[in-house]
């Protein structure tokens, strides 16, 4: 199968989550909606169900969700609820609501109240002090609760063996996505920003074994190509989500490729594997969460050192990018609060960047387009 055909398949899946949900339901499978961030999807997979990522929508307008949400809730969370209320996600058999940010915490109760008897809503509170014995025990306790509730929806208890197998499936999937990100940089003439986004986005709407098989096939074909001699510029993207096709098309029109990303919806979601040798698979998942690092949303005991800012700035240097584009989600307090530190690290290393204010209800991209075009000019001058 040609690379373009494979890329088109991912594009089709990424653009049609409802169709994908119907596909799995047609196979008699149960599906669980998974809200951001860091839900242990492995437990859903181990229960024989399909995890379904819920990161809002670029096509919908917030209407019914306004009944439940404050206006300053981010559009990702509001549009996830909208899709549960307007019937788009009626096929789901339940949802998991992690609560790692200040919007998602109260929002979890909006989901619970609004769903009522429609579907089970599984509450998940990750600890910020996640490293020591107590933090790990807390994570295990939370995950155990999620496991029990998922087992109830699946109609069977989730075994340790099934979780161990799920960890292997997910590690393999994460490795394939990390490999794809590198290949996309080497072959940015073929894997354009829009196509790169679609490949990574499709992962949220596919059973991971199926997705990984497809992605490994794509990676194998990409690896056969000679590394492209890119004449344009390259950037690292950062933020919660940057999947808007119109914004990504602006990158392409201005010859900007994406060398790597620090995006929650993309690489931040598959940077860290879980141990396959840990005797207790629940502890393996808890330790995986503890091992997550350089993240806007997670507590860093050494935060005064600006490790995260330097990590991202180094990513720009090491990936061969000339600058960074930050997609600042409107009303995202963690990203806004972290921005000055990221800016300092980038400025200290002489890395140009732009901050684009976005939300998922944006329909006019004039200002963002101007900023991207001007940034391309700046990067070109700096080359």
Q: What's the rounded Cα separation, in Å, for the pair 205 and 208?
A: 9
Per the CB < 8 A criterion, the answer to whether 303 and 218 are in contact is no
Q: Does 367 bind other proteins (CB under 8 A)?
A: yes
Burial class (CB in 10 A: 0-12, 13-18, 19+), 344: middle
Q: For the chain, what percentages of helix, strand and coil (3-state, to nearest 5) are there?
A: 55, 10, 35
Cβ atoms within 10 Å, residue 277? 6
Q: What's the closest the beta carbon of residue 348 comes to other proteins, in angstroms?
A: 13
Give the length of the chain.
Answer: 383
Q: What's the rounded Cα separation, in Å, for the pair 184 and 51?
A: 25
Per-residue mark of binding to other proteins, 176-215 (x: CB under 8 A): ----------------------------------------
Q: What's the closest the beta carbon of residue 355 comes to other proteins, in angstroms?
A: 9
Applying CB under 8 A, which part among 119-127, 169-177, 286-294, 367-375 lies near other proteins? 367-375
DSSP 8-class letter at 148:
H
Q: Does 337 bind other proteins (CB under 8 A)?
A: no
Question: Of 190, 217, 228, 371, which one interacts with other proteins (CB under 8 A)?
Answer: 371
For residue 284, the surrounding DSSP H or E stretch is helix 281-291
Q: Does 373 bind other proteins (CB under 8 A)?
A: yes
Applying CB under 8 A, which part among 27-35, 156-164, 265-273, 349-357 lies near other proteins? 349-357
Applying CB under 8 A, which part among 70-78, 171-179, 307-315, 350-358 lies near other proteins? 350-358
Question: Of 221, 278, 352, 361, which one interacts with other proteins (CB under 8 A)?
Answer: 352
Question: Of 109, 272, 357, 361, which one interacts with other proteins (CB under 8 A)?
Answer: 357
Nearer to other proteins by C-beta: 13 or 376? Answer: 376
Q: Does 378 bind other proteins (CB under 8 A)?
A: yes
Sheet with 353-358, edge to edge strand ranges: 256-263, 233-239, 323-329, 353-358
Q: What's the closest the beta carbon of residue 377 comes to other proteins, in angstroms?
A: 5
Q: What's the closest the beta carbon of residue 362 comes to other proteins, in angstroms?
A: 8
Applying CB under 8 A, which part among 28-36, 123-131, 144-152, 366-374 lies near other proteins? 366-374
> How many residues make contact with other proteins (CB under 8 A)?
14
Per the CB < 8 A criterion, the answer to whether 44 and 51 are in contact is yes
Nearer to other proteins by C-beta: 162 or 372? Answer: 372
Per the CB < 8 A criterion, the answer to whether 139 and 127 are in contact is yes
Per the CB < 8 A criterion, the answer to whether 105 and 36 are in contact is no
Q: Does 129 bind other proteins (CB under 8 A)?
A: no
Applying CB under 8 A, which part among 23-31, 70-78, 80-88, 364-372 lies near other proteins? 364-372
Q: Dmax over Cα atoms in the chain, in whole Å?
A: 61
Q: Does 370 bind other proteins (CB under 8 A)?
A: yes
Residues 6+ apart with CB under 8 A from 245: 58, 194, 197
Across the strands, what pairs with 78? none
Give residues in contact with other proteins (CB under 8 A): 352, 354, 357, 366-367, 370-371, 373-375, 377-378, 381-382
């Amino acid at each position: 199968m040609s690379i373009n055909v494979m890329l088109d398949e991912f594009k089709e899946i990424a653009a049609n989550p409802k169709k994908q949900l119907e596909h799995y339901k047609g196979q008699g499978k149960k599906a669980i909606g998974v809200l951001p961030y860091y839900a242990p999807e492995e437990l859903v997979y181990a229960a024989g169900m399909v995890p379904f990522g819920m990161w809002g929508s670029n096509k919908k307008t917030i209407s019914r969700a306004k009944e439940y949400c404050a206006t300053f809730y981010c559009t990702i969370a509001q549009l996830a609820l909208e899709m549960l209320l307007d019937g788009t996600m009626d096929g789901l058999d339940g949802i998991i609501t992690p609560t790692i940010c200040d919007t998602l915490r109260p929002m979890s109760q909006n989901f619970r109240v609004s769903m009522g008897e429609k579907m089970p809503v599984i509450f998940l509170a990750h600890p910020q002090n996640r490293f020591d014995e107590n933090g790990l025990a807390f994570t295990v306790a939370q995950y155990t609760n999620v496991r029990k509730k998922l087992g109830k929806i699946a109609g069977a208890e989730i075994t340790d063996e099934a979780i161990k197998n799920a960890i292997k499936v997910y590690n393999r999937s994460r490795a394939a996505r990390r490999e794809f990100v590198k290949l996309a940089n080497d072959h940015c003439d073929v894997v354009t920003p829009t196509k790169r986004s679609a490949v990574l986005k499709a992962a949220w709407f596919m059973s991971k074994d199926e997705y990984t098989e497809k992605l490994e096939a794509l990676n194998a074909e990409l690896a056969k190509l000679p590394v492209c001699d890119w004449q344009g510029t390259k950037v690292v993207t950062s933020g919660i989500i940057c999947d808007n096709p119109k914004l990504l098309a602006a990158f392409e029109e201005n010859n900007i490729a994406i060398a790597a990303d620090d995006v929650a919806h993309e690489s931040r979601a598959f940077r860290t594997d879980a141990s396959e040798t840990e005797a207790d698979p629940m502890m393996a998942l808890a330790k995986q969460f503890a091992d997550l690092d350089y993240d806007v949303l997670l507590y860093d005991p050494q935060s005064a050192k600006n490790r995260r800012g330097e990590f991202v700035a180094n990513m720009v240097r090491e990936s061969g990018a000339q600058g960074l584009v930050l997609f600042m989600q409107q009303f995202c307090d963690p990203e806004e609060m972290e921005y000055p530190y990221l800016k300092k690290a980038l400025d200290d290393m002489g890395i140009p960047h732009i901050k684009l204010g976005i939300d998922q209800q944006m329909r006019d991209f004039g200002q963002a387009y101007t900023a991207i075009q001007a940034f391309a000019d700046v990067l070109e001058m700096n080359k």
